[in-house]
Amino acid sequence: MTTSPDLEFQAVLNATLSAEYPTLRSAERLGSHPVNSKALPAIHFGETELQEFPARYELRAMVHVWSNLEGPHEVKTYQQRIRELLVNIEFTRDIWTFLVISEEFTDTLRDRDDSIWHGVQRFRVLVS
C-alpha cells in the first residue's frame, strides 16, 4: 500500500528537523502534535493542502514555531534555518520525490496571552 504524499512529506519534515534540532526532538518539542502545554521553543508541522495533477501533486505545508523568549528573535532564527533546510532542496521518501519550490509566506506574531511568539511558514512543494 502506498502512503499519501502529504503524510510522507510530514515524515521528511520530521527527519530533516530532527537531524537539525535533536534536543527539540528528544524533549518532544518537535512534531505533528500541537504544543499546548509543551516546553518552548517548539516546532509543529501538520496542516497541508494537496492538489492532484496529471503525473504529480502540488502540496502546501505549514510549519509553526513557538517561543516564550522576549521578542520575536528566537522564532525568526528558527524560521530562517527551516527556510535554508527546505527551499530548493529535493527529498525522496517511499515512492515520492519532493521538491520544495518556495516559501509562500512567513508570519511572526504574538500568541495566546502575549507572552508567546508564534511563527507560521507555508511551503509549496512539487511531488512526483
Domains of the chain as residue ranges with CATH? 5-127 (3.30.2000.30)
Q: Kindly report the pTM of this predicted structure.
A: 0.91
- pLDDT at position 35 is 66
- pLDDT at position 90 is 95
The residue behind cell 520575536 is 72
- pLDDT at position 26 is 79
What single letter denotes the amino acid at residue 107? D
Taking alpha carbons only, the member of 85, 5, 111 closest to residue 49 is 5
- pLDDT at position 83 is 96
As given in the structure block, the three cell numbers for residue 116 are: 508567546
As given in the structure block, the three cell numbers for residue 91 are: 527529498
Q: What is the pLDDT along the chain (128 residues), one digit of tens a residue?
A: 568 899 999 999 999 999 999 999 877 898 887 666 668 899 999 799 999 999 899 999 999 999 998 889 999 999 999 999 999 999 999 899 999 999 999 999 997 778 899 999 999 999 99
